[in-house]
A and B are shown apart, each in its own frame.
Chain A
Amino acid sequence: MGTDVRWLLAKDLRILRRSPLIVGLLIVYPVALGVLIGFALSGDNSKPRVAFLNEVSSTQQFQIGSGDNEIDRDLARDELCSRVECVDVSSREEAVQKVEDGDVIAALILPEDLLDKLNSLATLNPQQPQVEVLVNQDDPLKASLVDDRIQALITEANLILAQKISDEAANYLDLLVKGGNFSIPLVGDVDILGLNRAATLLDGVAKDVPPDSPAADALAQVNKFARLAGDNLHFALPLLGAIAEPITVDKQVVAGDTAELDTFAIAVAVTVTLMFVTVLLVAGSLALEREENAFARVTRGTVGPGGLLTEKLLLGVVASLAVTLLLLVALTALVSIAWGRTPLILAAILVGGAGFAAFGAAIGASAKEVRASSLLAFMVSLPIAFLSLVPSGTVSAGVFHAIEIVRALFPFDPALDAMQGALDAGGPGLGVPLLHLALIVAAYGALARVALRRF
């Protein structure tokens, strides 16, 4: 039977070669899809494009106290553009145009009075500094993303300011406790005594004051105050540091092994390709045996229905391996693929391909004609793939449990897990999804075998 399966496989590959439209659709379409995803990944997704207009004068500064903490327009730009991809614009109109056209997700405008208002915070007439954000809300999902991003940026900017202010306050406190030089504009450097030195001076003076003198009590009180203040204000320094960020976050992962976002996206692209190529090809190829009326003639000899089914699974695995490797090679030009893990990647492709091939065989054996099998393959595969991408927490626990049961019955979910695990050492382990896929091959293979009895 092995030789017969080989001849049947050669026959199917020859028929494929003579069907350029089918080959084109099966190969070019998913590869193009994967490359598009690769293009999307190869751009730095962590940095959204934001139009930036800085109307603040280049000569202006926001100086915090008299220390080294100064904020000027260049510092503001540097901080912002290290977090987003800044697209400099020269006018508000240009910023509006770019947002409307979709060139950028939002526009951030620093008005010319920003630093004036920041400086006013230390005066008796404080004014609220404000930046202007322009957004395009035609897409609610994009609008939500933009809101989150901008809010995060502003929060971070406020955090930086608060940190600088608290740093400066800590410097002042340190100067107050220890003493030292203090620079006052237009006056120059002034030597500040400091509470510690004041207490030492007072100790010296107190020795020369008669104990029964009225000044002795007053001196003792001042000395005590200076010492207490010097000792206790020192403890305020870390408190000031905590003002800027009073609550920190300690994130711990207690469930779910997730790969890096890029790897997940690659795994999705590869698994979708694997699914479309293999399921459609095997379903259509098996149904074709009936349409050509060749099924009975082929299986009456030594091949048998089991041999034909084996050949179709092999066809699916061979085709999926070729197309998926082609996709990964194409993606390598755009994103980083862990080729050092090639044996694991091959295992994931082969077993995932077998799972999809068995699924396709069950569809082809049930549908019995090529068009119906193609339609059925598409209509069943696509919703299952979407269900497999539904994350927990987005639906109720009961609904998610039902989704998990449905997902477990089809090869997409374990194939995706296997691919993630193969591409990334930090992803899910390979053992469980490969075993799951093996069970799926057995189950759908049995279903196809039963359906072939009525073929």
Chain B
Amino acid sequence: MAEGAAAIEAHGVGKRFGDRAALRDVSFSAAPSELLAVIGPNGAGKTTLLSILAGIREPDEGSVSVGGTVGWVPQAAALYRRLTVAENLRLFARLEGVADVEAAVERMLAQTSLGDRSDDQVGTLSGGNQQRVNIAIGLLSAPAVLLLDEPSTGLDPRQRERLWEFVLGLAGSGTTVIYSTHMLLEAERYGDRLLVLADGERVFDGTADALHAAAPGSEARDFEAAFVRFLAERGH
């Protein structure tokens, strides 16, 4: 973990939905400029964890502390399809309390290369472009911590490359980025650290190399195989 004060910390976070424990005693921290990849099987609690970190849900146990604003980009695009790109950005900038709304809108349009589509209704954009608007909304408040839930969903390879160039640039500028992904290649390639969840529990917190080494007999296997073996060894 990088030295210095953590940008975000979670202590013993737990969440139940009825009888099902979606999260159990999950603790971690992330430093400024760090890219933390949250990975795990379906139903592991990744989206629940990110929604708690974003303040969408309250944890039933534990606490979350953040040293600044939090930007949140949900998995499914959260925007109004009958509004234009600019109208969406303007509305959410106002709701986020951004000081200079128009400047923030212009900045996001430039950063996401959507300036020429600013007056198009979002419903007319492709899935990939809608996702770009979705991410732009999450960045309006220039957050200290950016939460991305499956950000590559719906993006073609070129768009994914562009997205990660952008995200890496943010991290380089000091933004802490926590992202969940099913694509283990993305986790291995871009994540400074991996947080592995399974059945609501934190089962690993470390680098991709450390996880690879922790999976027995995985020296000659790729990262995905090592990950599957790692989980299997621990009964998940």
Contact = CB atoms under 8 A, between A and B. Distances in A.
A302 B82 contact: no
B92 A15 contact: no
A293 B74 contact: yes
A265 interface: no
Nearest to B75: A293
B95 A14 contact: no
Interface string A1-39: 001100110010011001100000000000000000000
Interface string A40-73: 0000000000000000000000000000000000
A292 B79 contact: yes
B184 interface: no
B95 A298 contact: yes
A3 B51 CA distance: 26
Contacts of B121: 18
A450 interface: no
Contacts of A210: none
Contact of A14 (B74, B77, B79, B83): B83
B83 A7 contact: no
A301 B95 contact: yes
Given A11-B91, A18-B121, A300-B55, A294 B80 contact: yes
Contacts of B82: 14-15, 18-19
B96 interface: yes
A292 B78 contact: yes
A210 B54 CA distance: 134
A298 B87 CA distance: 14
B51 A7 contact: no
A300 B97 CA distance: 12
B58 to A, nearest CB: 11
Contacts of A292: 78-81
A11 B79 CA distance: 12
A294 B122 CA distance: 13
B87 A296 contact: no
A303 B95 contact: yes
Sort chain A's interface into a size bin. 10 to 19
B103 interface: no
Interface string B79-103: 1111100010001101111000000
B78 A11 contact: no
Given A296-B78, A297-B137, A302 B95 contact: yes
B1 interface: no
Contact of A300 (B56, B77, B79): B56
B76 A293 contact: yes
Contacts of B87: 11, 14
A302 B77 contact: no
Nearest to B57: A296
B78 A297 contact: yes
Nearest to A16: B82
A4 B94 contact: yes
B230 interface: no
B5 to A, nearest CB: 24
Interface in A376-425: none
Contacts of A7: 91, 94-95
A15 B95 CA distance: 17
B72 interface: yes
Nearest to A6: B94
B55 A11 contact: no
Given A18-B121, A300-B54, A294 B95 contact: no
Residue from B81, B95, B137 having most chain A Cβ neighbours under 10 A: B95
B80 A15 contact: yes
A301 to B, nearest CB: 5
A21 to B, nearest CB: 12
A376 B55 CA distance: 32
Contacts of B95: 4, 7-8, 298, 301-303
Contacts of A8: 91, 95
B72 to A, nearest CB: 7
A433 to B, nearest CB: 37
Most buried by A among B76, B91, B97: B91
B144 to A, nearest CB: 16
A290 to B, nearest CB: 10
Contacts of A298: 95
Nearest to A15: B82
Contacts of A297: 72, 74, 78, 92, 137
Interface in A255-300: 292-294, 296-298, 300
Contacts of A19: 82
Given A14-B87, A18-B121, A296-B51, A301 B97 contact: yes
A296 B97 contact: no
Interface in B111-167: 121, 137
Nearest to A18: B82
Interface string A153-196: 00000000000000000000000000000000000000000000
Interface in B44-73: 51, 54-56, 72
B49 to A, nearest CB: 15
A300 B70 CA distance: 11
Contacts of A303: 95
B102 to A, nearest CB: 14
A15 B76 contact: no
Contact of A15 (B55, B56, B77, B83): B83
A99 to B, nearest CB: 54
A297 B73 CA distance: 9
A294 to B, nearest CB: 5
A224 to B, nearest CB: 104
Given A4-B95, A302-B97, A296 B56 contact: yes
A208 B54 CA distance: 131
A291 to B, nearest CB: 10
9 contacts: A8-B91, A14-B87, A15-B80, A15-B82, A19-B82, A292-B78, A293-B79, A296-B56, A297-B78
Given A292-B80, A294-B79, 8 more contacts: A3-B94, A11-B91, A18-B121, A292-B79, A296-B56, A297-B74, A297-B92, A298-B95
Q: Which 5 A-B pairs have the closest CB atoms?
A: A297-B78, A293-B78, A15-B82, A293-B76, A296-B56
Interface of B: 51, 54-56, 72, 74, 76-83, 87, 91-92, 94-97, 121, 137
